[in-house]
Amino acid sequence: MKTIASLNLVKSLENSAPETPNSQPIYALISVHGDPTAEIGKEGAGGQNVYVRELGLALAKRGCRVDMFTRREYPHQEEIVELAPGCRTIRLTAGPVEFIPRNNLFEYLAEFVEAWLNFQQRTQTNYALIHTNYWLSGWVGLELKSQLGLPQVHTYHSIGAVKYRNVENPPQIAEIRHCVEKAILEQADCVISTSPQEVEDLRQLISQHGRIKVIPCGINTEHFGSINKKDARQQLGIAPDSKIILYVGRFDRRKGVETLVQACASLPPGFQLYLVGGNREGGTDFQEQQRIQTLVKELGLEAVTIFTGRISQPLLPAYYAAGDVCIVPSYYEPFGLVAIEAMASKTPVIASDVGGLQHTVVHGETGLLVPPGDAHALTSAIVSLLENPIFRQKYGDAAQNWVQSRFSTQGVAAQVQELYQSLTVDTFVQEIIQTKNLTPELEKQIQNLLKSTT
């Protein structure tokens, strides 16, 4: 609860705050391996890239200044890209300028820190706070925090201990990742968890210490939902009476596309399966895509399966709207943007009952939840929706309302901004206390007022 006295105090303290050129705080979003301006859907580029970009843009729309730092992957990439007034992507050079899979990036992080500090000094920018994404950036954030005393907010996007829980031979980096993920939770000023399930995982598998706040991922609800089913099908050349089962996402084993294909093999004929996503030749996603293509052939589904390849964000709303049902068959999913993008487009979702999906898909209201890896359960769920247009309509309408009320980027960005403000005021007041030689009594009073504002 904020009191008037505490707000006045904070205001008067803010008046003596160091000024940035137009006195707006500048926030640094750090996403070492997830370039917010990358083409989404290709290798390694997925929900994290979208999260950072959408958050940066939404914060800028709210009047903040945001710099989004990432690693340069190709020589022709510009160092600075202005996405919107107040919102830039800044690419730093750390290690060879080429795509490096995230499991091999750790050794280049010290270089990234160095490049970040050089940029900050060269441009004389006073960042008010850093918000790091994924454990690699979290390590960078801890370094910057210890060197500059900046408040750090962190979003995990995925937790190693959950991802590797049932994996027989986890990669070598898994141990280091676990230590870094623990340090982040215990030392960052606040961790943003995107679902209550993630909070449980962090507390059980990582540490009992550290502050966590639940703020979900958001999507642009004006973009997804901008086209109706009839127009979408016309645009994509899909017949109005076709039964369309949709998958959108990367080709990665943990996404469970295999279970979806197996489930479709037991469906009565008369449907089409659209697999949206994909990658250039040679990448790890491409291998998985080829494995799925072989399975599709083996199960006799070739004639009804369409591999669209990667679809750009501007074209995606039409695919979501054209689907009768969108399947998210992941074995593990920290949040799962695809589920809310589909629901925002009025398309009911059948998702695995795991991770963030348990909290975004409301079973029996906006779609159905099924056990992960259970092709039989998935077949039954698909049949129940494909054969029941009234349910599909009811679920689709409810899904769109649900996403608009809970997961719009603007609503989510407002919550994130409030968190940033509370942490920067906190840090600033602590600095004042240290530098202004206050009497112990006044200091205590300020500390108490501060508690009531945050």
Residue numbers of the site for ligand UDP (CB under 6 A)? 40-41, 46-48, 50, 248-250, 276-277, 310-311, 313, 316, 335-338, 341
For residues 270 and 281, give the distance between their C-alpha atoms in angstroms, rounded to a whole number. Answer: 32
Q: Which residue number is nearest to ligand UDP in terms of Cβ?
A: 46
Contact 71, 33 (CB under 8 A): yes
The least distance separating ligand UDP from the CB of residue 197, rounded to whole angstroms, comes to 14
We find the least distance from the C-beta atom of residue 352 to ligand UDP, in angstroms, to be: 12
Nearer to ligand UDP, 21 or 171 (CB): 171
CA distance 371 to 16: 56
Find the shortest distance in angstroms from Cβ 142 to ligand UDP.
Answer: 23
Comparing CB distances to ligand UDP, the nearer of 359 and 394 is 359
**Smallest distance, ligand UDP to C-beta of residue 310, A:** 4
Least distance CB 157 / ligand UDP (angstroms):
7
Q: How far is the CB of 334 from ligand UDP (least distance, A)?
A: 8
Nearer to ligand UDP, 88 or 250 (CB): 250
Task: Tell me whether residue 69 or residue 335 sits nearer to ligand UDP (CB atom).
Answer: 335
d(CA 192, CA 202): 11
Rank residues 27 and 274 by Cβ distance to ligand UDP and give the closer one: 274
Question: Which one, 117 or 236, has the nearer CB to ligand UDP?
Answer: 236
At 406, list the tokens: 């809970």
Q: Give the nearer residue to ligand UDP in terms of CB position, either 112 or 320.
A: 320
Measured from the CB atom, the residue of 131 and 145 that comes closer to ligand UDP is 131
- To ligand UDP, the closest distance from the beta carbon of 368 in angstroms equals 18
Is 6 or 137 the residue whose CB approaches ligand UDP more closely?
A: 137
Query: Minimum Å distance from CB 277 to ligand UDP?
Result: 4
Minimum Å gap between C-beta 338 and ligand UDP is 4
